[in-house]
């Protein structure tokens, strides 16, 4: 798979470390009453969709940026790549 890095152009997916669902960027509020349940759900449960999936890839062997890659889990087609720092989920 080639990931079209917004700054560096197409890079081999082997240069990256895969972290998982991009919703991990949305940490729950620790100060609300049911924060324990929210954090358990955040840390352990996943939507795991068949189809379009937004996910985190870390360019460890490159510029060490975090990317949000939008990819189809049925076909492996990558339809969008953004810098995680610029993403609004």
Partner 1 sequence: MSYSIFRVIKEALNDHKGWGPAWRDPAPKSHYDIVIVGGGGHGLATAFYLASRYGLRNIAVLERGWLGGGNVGRNTTIVRSNYMLPGNEPFYELSMKLWEGLEQELNYNAMVSQRGVLNLCHSDAQRDAFRKRGNAMLLQGADAELLDTDGVRQLYPYLNFNDARFPILGGLLQRRGGTVRHDAVAWGYARAADRLGVDLIQNCEVLDFRVENGATVGVETSRGFIGAGKVGVAVAGSSSRLMSKVGIRLPIESHVLQAFVSEGLKPVIPGVITFGAGHFYLSQSDKGGLVFGGDIDGYNTYASRGNLPVVEDVCEGAMGLMPMLGRARLLRSWGGVMDMSMDGSPFIDRTKIPGLFFNGGWCYGGFKATPASGLCFAHLLATGTSHEVASQMRLDRFARGAMIDEKGQGAQPNLH
What is the binding site for partner 1 (CB under 8 A)? 1, 13-14, 18, 20-21, 37, 40-41, 43-50, 53, 55, 71, 73-76
Q: Which is nearer to partner 1, 6 or 49 (CB)?
A: 49
Q: Give the shortest CB-56-to-partner 1 separation in angstroms.
A: 10
| Closest to partner 1 by CB, 1 or 89 | 1
The closest of 72, 58, 54 to 11, measured between CA atoms, is: 58
Residue (27 or 46) nearer to partner 1, CB: 46
Q: Minimum distance between the CB of residue 42 and partner 1, rounded to whole angstroms?
A: 10
- Are 25 and 89 in contact, with CB atoms under 8 Å apart? yes
Cβ of residue 1: shortest distance to partner 1, in angstroms?
6
**Integer Cα distance of 62 and 52 in angstroms:** 25
- Per-residue b or e along 17-27, where b marks 16 or more CB atoms closer than 10 Å to that residue's CB: eeeebbeebee
């Amino acid at each position: 798979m080639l990931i079209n890095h917004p700054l560096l152009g197409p890079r081999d997916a082997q240069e990256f470390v895969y972290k998982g669902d991009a919703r991990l960027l949305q940490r729950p509020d620790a100060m609300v009453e049911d924060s324990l349940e929210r954090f358990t759900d955040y840390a352990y449960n996943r939507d795991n969709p068949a189809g379009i999936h937004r996910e985190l890839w870390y360019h460890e062997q490159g510029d060490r940026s975090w990317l949000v890659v939008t990819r189809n889990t049925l076909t492996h087609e990558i339809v969008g790549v953004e810098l995680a720092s610029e993403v609004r989920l």
